[in-house]
A and B are shown apart, each in its own frame.
Chain A
């Protein structure tokens, strides 16, 4: 069964350092989402791509966060500099997009700890 791949699974970093997370969506999925999930809460959307274009990044803290999906396939989310409050699970999800029944498939996530 096809899965959304994310790496690394865990990342520990110090405050003010740069971190990057990678996501490979299910093949053929045009829409890719990055969510942040704080412990004990539901996921919150950070950025949404349709192919290589950003559809929604209204909740992305653009002073420190950036995301790209250059070829419309895999994607990278970067934080620079990391802050203590960035400690969370970062989830990537994908869907067929316009052809979908809104089914989003999630990866296992990257657990970030900022010390």
Chain B
């Protein structure tokens, strides 16, 4: 059973546009929600993360929006650039040092 559901599977955005990727979860025990970025042939790298005590976190062009009541969270990439083209994974975990449950990934292509 997929613990974290991610959509869309793929996304094509024009340079300068906004990329939005959505994730949903069921387990209310999750208390840490990171987003990872993965380039071909590389391992995932942490992009930004949020805990459920805040509704939004922004780091540069990347923003996580978190809706605790709906059990949903999303990644917004503002002013998308061709260098942002990668696969993005949302994840969730409970407690420190515990395993991550990853979404199925979103392949983002930013067209120049």
Interface residues of A (CB under 8 A from B): 4, 6, 31, 33, 40-45, 48, 50, 56, 91, 93, 95-109
Question: What residues of chain B lie closer than 8 Å to A41, measured between beta carbons?
Answer: 104-105
* B112 contacts chain A at the CB level, 8 A cutoff: no
Question: What residues of chain A lie closer than 8 Å to B45, measured between beta carbons?
Answer: 106
Chain A, residue nearest B41 (CB): A108
Residue from the list B6, B36, B89, B93 in contact with A102, Cβ < 8 A: B93
Chain A, residue nearest B36 (CB): A106
Nearest-Cβ distance from residue B111 to partner chain A, whole angstroms:
21
Question: What residues of chain B lie closer than 8 Å to A44, measured between beta carbons?
Answer: 102
B99 touches A97 (CB 8 A): no
Question: What residues of chain A lie closer than 8 Å to B104, measured between beta carbons?
Answer: 40-42
* B12 contacts chain A at the CB level, 8 A cutoff: no
Given contacts A31-B97, A42-B104, A102 and B34 within 8 Å (CB-CB):
yes
Given contacts A4-B43, A108-B43, A40 and B97 within 8 Å (CB-CB):
no
Chain A, residue nearest B107 (CB): A40
Residue from the list A42, A105, A106, A108 in contact with B105, Cβ < 8 A: A42
Chain B, residue nearest A99 (CB): B96
Closest 8 CB pairs of A and B: A42-B102, A106-B43, A45-B99, A97-B97, A102-B32, A106-B44, A108-B43, A31-B97
A98 touches B46 (CB 8 A): no
| Complex A-B: 12 CB contacts under 8 Å | A41-B105, A42-B104, A42-B105, A91-B44, A97-B96, A97-B97, A98-B96, A98-B97, A99-B96, A102-B97, A102-B98, A109-B42
B32 touches A108 (CB 8 A): no
A50 touches B97 (CB 8 A): yes
Nearest-Cβ distance from residue A11 to partner chain B, whole angstroms:
14
* B100 contacts chain A at the CB level, 8 A cutoff: yes
A102 touches B44 (CB 8 A): no
8 Å CB interface, B1-25 against A:
4, 6
Question: What residues of chain A lie closer than 8 Å to B32, measured between beta carbons?
Answer: 102
